[in-house]
Amino acid sequence: MFFDTNYLLLVMLPTLILSGLAQMYVRSAYAKWTQARNSRGINGVEVAQAIFQRTNVRPINLQGTPGELTDHFDPGKNVVRLSAGVAEQPSVASMAIVAHELGHVQQYQTGSALISARQFLVPAVRFSPMLASILLIAGFALQISGLAWAGVAFFAVTTVFALLTLPVELDASNRAMKLLDEAGLLASDEDRRGARSVLNAAAATYLAAALTSVLQLLYYVSLVSRRSRRS
């Protein structure tokens, strides 16, 4: 029902391009800076320990996680999970990634308004995409525009979440650079340049996700508007 020419040209194709470019950027930055040894010669776990000791970030548990670029902070269990490459290698990329995740930890520990707003939407985001699809299909099949518009409204929740995620991630990256500075870990221009490059690449993926969600929302609004005018 939704895979018409407009969807292919205005949503699917831009999504593939934006997502592909973002992933290429991330992979390129990670590949380059994972080969560059940071000036302190410390791995990701040691970076975290230095930040815990020298900044206001309170220590939390660190755990391993399988895969590459799978590092994340789990606020529910209050743990940072690090991939083996980040945890064990003394690279500039490892340093930046750990600091970014601890930037998220600091957001929670200091009660960041941005993170609080995003967390408020988490329960709704868990079911809104499925409800959006059901209501859109039902609305078109039964020719009830109100149901279709309700589907658009539920999908809009996911778009708002994606838009909120972008400043949350940018804030975590800014905090990461400050934490590395406070901990005395940016000991050279290469450290600083490499850390910023890795963090910028990560931000590109969230920008791509936000843009594609907006494109999809606009497509649904246009589609429902056209169908409503016909009925």
pLDDT digits (tens, 9 = 90+) for 148-189: 999 999 999 999 999 999 999 999 999 999 999 999 999 999
Token pair of 53, please? 């000791």
Q: Residue 125 belongs to what H/E stretch?
A: helix 113-142
Using the predicted structure, report yes or no on whether residue 231 has a pLDDT greater than 80: no
Q: What is the pLDDT of residues 78-133, one digit of tens each?
A: 999 999 999 999 999 999 999 999 999 999 999 999 888 888 888 888 899 999 99
Type of residue numbered 27: R
Query: Is residue 70 very low, low, confident or very high in pLDDT (cuts 50, 70, 90)?
Result: very high
Q: For residue 228, what pLDDT is reported?
A: 78
Q: Round to whole Å and give the CA distance between 108 and 184.
A: 23
Token pair of 52, please? 């815990």
- CA proximity to 155, closest of 224, 206, 202: 224
Cβ neighbours for 133, distance < 8 A, ≥ 6 positions apart: 151
CA distances from 83 to 66, 93, 115, 117, 204 (A): 6, 12, 24, 28, 21
Could you state, in order of their start, the residue ranges of all structural domains in the chain?
5-230
Q: Round to whole Å and give the CA distance between 180 and 100.
A: 10
Q: Is the pTM of this model over 0.85?
A: yes
- CA proximity to 149, closest of 211, 45, 220, 96: 220
Query: Is residue 134 very low, low, confident or very high in pLDDT (cuts 50, 70, 90)?
Result: very high
Q: Round to whole Å and give the CA distance between 49 and 39.
A: 16
Using the predicted structure, report yes or no on whether residue 4 has a pLDDT greater than 90: no
Q: Residue 79 belongs to what H/E stretch?
A: strand 79-83
